[in-house]
């Protein structure tokens, strides 16, 4: 008889921040390695474009500093 898999802990906010950071880093690499490098963040609607200058995380928070001088703080909160 096959034994049941051990119970797994629920995913926490720190893990999700790391996951989102990796997604952003992968996107940055793709933009930087294209034949014609493009900005990491582009909005045709707002006529804006910027690249990530610094990406850092601490606990459930992710900080993104762009080369246009803006800085974003994303905080993840588990809802369920």
The average pLDDT across 20-30 equals: 96
Secondary structure (3-state) at 18: helix
In a domain, 5, yes or no: no
In angstroms, the Cα distances linking 74 to 3, 21, 49, 51 are 41, 11, 19, 17
In a domain, 21, yes or no: yes
| Vertex 71: Cα angle to 36 and 27 (nearest 5) | 35
Q: Which domain holds residue 58?
A: 14-26+48-80
Q: State residue 16's pLDDT score.
A: 94
The phi, psi pair for 39, rounded to 5°, reads: -65, 155
Q: State residue 12's pLDDT score.
A: 92
Split into its structural domains, the chain has a count of 1
* Beta-bridge partner residues of 49: 42
DSSP 3: P
In a domain, 80, yes or no: yes
């Amino acid at each position: 008889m096959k034994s049941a898999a051990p119970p797994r802990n629920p995913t926490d906010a720190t893990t999700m921040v790391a996951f989102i950071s990796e997604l952003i880093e992968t996107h940055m690499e793709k933009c930087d390695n294209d034949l014609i490098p493009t900005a990491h963040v582009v909005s045709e609607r707002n006529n804006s474009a910027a690249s990530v200058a610094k990406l850092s995380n601490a606990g459930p928070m992710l900080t993104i500093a762009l080369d246009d001088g803006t800085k974003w703080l994303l905080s993840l909160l588990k809802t369920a």
